[in-house]
Amino acid sequence: MNNLLLYNLFEQTRDRYNRHLGLSDYMLLLDAMQQGFGVGKKEDLEDLCSMLWLKSKPQQEQFKVFLTAYLKEESEQLFKTTTTQKPTETLNNQDDTQQNPDVKEQTQTPQTPNQTQANTPSVSDTKETVKTGTGDGNDMVTVQWNIGKMVQNVGTTLNTEGVGKGTWKPSNRYILSEAYHPFTERQLRQQWRRLRKKQKVGHTPDIDIEATIKNIATKGFFDAPIHTRRAVNDFRLVVLVDWKGSMLAFHSLSDLIVRTLRAELPKTEVWYFRNQPQDYFYGQADWTKAITTDKLLNQLAQSPTHILIISDGGAARGSFVTERLQAWWRFFNKLKPMAANILWLNPMPKERWAGSTAAYLEKMVAMRAVSDEGRVIKDVVKVLKM
């Protein structure tokens, strides 16, 4: 029974905090407990679980709150089950003598999924379970069901607690959170690395083995190693970021993309605009360091450059603006001959493009919606590499 409770705790921790946990992490907990860790006080279990399963401080803090609620509910539920069980126990024993063990198991197993699935089980449900079987196995079934119910309770209590503590202020008109990007910084950086165009500059301590051997072969003896020239990524990317207005909600997302691109691709330039390209683009998000659109286009013409546009294209508000469409049309006409490749990353899901300017813009240029799990970034890289 104890094991099952721990397993439920493990499963919930995995669902809530760390999807990368596997069965081996659960076994690790059991291993540690067998060696005497985490038994005794609640704090010991808390320390152990958070050390084994949660790999960042904020998560560990959240887990503390969660575990307290979990254990509290669990003990209450356990108490309840034992009290409801007592009167029926005598009945069970009578039933038991009439049933053979096989039949008992058969009746018991199909019941389990029902109980875990049921969202609002009634009291009569519990009684039924208790009746069908006896002994330890039956205890487990009941407890599992009770925890399933309890989880929902914990979920709701936890949420309201967060509000009470003032982690966000209801007086604000909107909440911007960095916590829920569809991809992580790591995923982005790993993908950006695939955008490569090697160009050799300068010297490094790395030895060019092939050239050195060739040198020995021609001279007949070895005098000095030949060093390689360092390869620098010459992939030129210009990111055009729609800023302010309807993009406000996506600022941190755009920032993340820009930040990781700058870290991985040294030749990344970022220009900001609002809604549609006009006479100027801006080097800074606060509308400073302006450059005329013509000048920017001329710069692009000098070497093959890839263009990444981050904008909702009117999809956030669902509006269609002819003027905006025309501005983009004129801009693309000038841009297309200059750029190696153009890709538009739209933070709004594809269903929301219909009816807005985005739906028409999509016909002019490759447009991708930001989807989950960083898959879109793979796609972006693929298109930009073409």
Q: Which residues bind another protein (CB under 8 A)?
A: 20-22, 25, 28, 31-32, 35-37, 47-48, 50-52, 54-57, 60, 184-186, 189-190, 207, 209, 212, 216, 221-222, 225
**Can you tell me which residue has the tokens 């209590």?**
157
SS3 59: helix
Q: How far is the CB of 57 from another protein (least distance, A)?
A: 4
Nearest in space to 248 (alpha carbons), one of 321, 305, 301, 175? 175
Minimum gap (Å) between residue 37 Cβ and another protein: 5
Give the single-character DSSP code of 226.
P
Task: Please report how close the Cβ of residue 36 comes to another protein at its closest, in angstroms.
Answer: 6
Q: How far apart are CA 129 and CA 139, in angstroms?
A: 9
Token pair for residue 10?
A: 């493990």
Nearer to another protein by Cβ, of 188 and 308: the residue is 188
Nearer to another protein, 60 or 99 (CB): 60
> Measured from the CB atom, is 14 or 131 closer to another protein?
14
Angle at 23 between CA 155 and CA 372, to 5 degrees: 60
Least distance to another protein from the beta carbon of 190, Å?
A: 7
Strands 268-273 and 305-310: unpaired
Q: CB of 231: closest distance to another protein in angstroms?
A: 14
CB-wise, 49 or 348, nearer to another protein? 49
Q: Toward another protein, which CB reaches closer, 216 or 327?
A: 216
Rounded distance, CA 47 to CA 32, Å? 12
Closer residue to another protein (CB): 36 or 170: 36
Q: Nearest distance from residue 50's CB to another protein, in Å? A: 8
30, 57 contact by CB (below 8 A)? no
Torsion of CA 200, 300, 379, 248, to 10 degrees: 120
Measured from the CB atom, is 54 or 261 closer to another protein? Answer: 54
Measured CA distances, 369 to 2, 113, 198, 374 (Å): 46, 37, 29, 11
Going by C-alpha positions, the residue among 196, 188, 234, 228 that lies closest to residue 210 is 228
Q: How far is the CB of 167 from another protein (least distance, A)?
A: 15
